[in-house]
Amino acid sequence: MACGRCTLASQLFGPVADDLRLVDDEIAAIADVRYPPLGALLSHVVRPRGKRLRPALVLLAAGFADYPLDRLVRLAAAIEVLHTATLVHDDLIDGATTRRGTATLHSLVSGHATVLVGDYLFAQAAYLCSRTESVRVMGIFGQTLMAICDGELQQLFSAGDDRMTLERYLEKIRCKTAELFQTATQTGAILSGADEDQIAALATYGLKVGLAFQVVDDVLDYIGDEQTLGKPVGGDLRQGTLTLPALWVLQNLPSDRSVRQALESGGEDEGVVRTAVRTVAESPAIAYSLGVARQLSMEARAALAGLPDNASRAALEAIAEYVVSRSS
């Protein structure tokens, strides 16, 4: 576990930090396969680099009723492996060569191999989910995978659409990102035997946190530190993807052509892209977008109001605050 992850785990994931190590072990076991080349590729993509935020949400959401550890660990691993599979395919689609400072899979092997490794991870995620022995959880898991594909297609087909409203943008990122956060908290609560009111509250919390997380991600693509992010800023513009900050500039500063020019260049003119990134970063779009994220974070915390006041709730409240204050 990297030092940054240790700090985050101790500060936010305290009640479940030890159990997250079990989740890491479950995920690492995926690479133990009979075909060594596949094992090497799997080891590369499942090695802990991210925050493990989604698995932590599974475990924390189970902190208000029973806590069936073995099944929760499998579910948390399934959620993270599903997330990893989407990243493998995303990096191929986007042509990204690095993620968090590490070479992406498709920069090391062919596109065909990358697709197949991603598919293998989807299958492993489904298998892990099946081992929760909950038909309800498995159904939600399948619906989530469909929603993620829906969101990615919405993003693909809406490239360059400067008429996108806030509502449409939030719907796109709900499918693309927030649905998996919601699934983490909802299914963790279900496995714990929480009552339906608690399950609904935790599902709402996960959705709102996931939306806030993606809005901040979209902001960091303009104002983040490239070394901290582990990738260049302006990636969305290079792909022709209009997120909330760029949409605000297009819709509120029509005389400024920098974002439009970046889109028209197809992301190929680095100078034009950098100018557009600077325009967005220095505009009121950033404050506006962060305001949207903070409102979503407040709504997430409000959803927890009826839950017992314990360590899990405190951690969930802290996570809702963290997602809008993070720098990576």
In a domain, 327, yes or no: no
In a domain, 69, yes or no: yes
Please name which of 137, 145, 148, 135 lies closest in space to residue 185, comparing C-alpha atoms: 137
d(CA 254, CA 276): 13
Instruction: Specify the number of domains making up the chain.
Output: 1
Strands (E), the chain: 98-99, 102-103
Which residue's structure tokens are 């399948």? Answer: 142
Q: Domain range holding 263? A: 3-8+16-322
pLDDT in tens, the chain (328 residues): 445 555 565 678 989 999 999 999 999 999 999 999 999 999 999 987 778 999 999 999 999 999 999 999 999 999 999 999 999 999 998 888 888 778 999 999 999 999 999 999 999 999 999 999 999 999 999 999 999 999 999 988 888 888 999 999 999 999 999 999 999 999 999 999 999 999 999 999 999 999 999 999 999 999 998 878 877 899 999 988 999 999 999 999 999 999 999 999 988 899 999 999 999 999 999 999 999 999 999 999 999 999 999 999 999 999 999 999 998 8
In a domain, 328, yes or no: no
d(CA 125, CA 148): 14
Q: What is the pLDDT of residue 96?
A: 85
Q: What is the pLDDT of residue 6?
A: 56
Please name which of 322, 320, 326, 324 lies closest in space to residue 301, comparing C-alpha atoms: 320
Q: What is the pTM of this model?
A: 0.94
SS3 98: strand
Q: What is the pLDDT of residue 116?
A: 97
Q: What is the pLDDT of residue 268?
A: 86
For residues 125 and 138, the answer to whether their CB atoms sit within 8 Å is no
Radius of gyration of the chain (CA): 19
Q: What is the pLDDT of residue 1?
A: 40
Domain of 67, CATH number, reads 1.10.600.10
d(CA 183, CA 236): 26
Q: What is the pLDDT of residue 242?
A: 94
Distance of CA 316 to CAs 8, 56, 59, 327, Å? 13, 9, 10, 19
Q: What is the pLDDT of residue 22?
A: 97
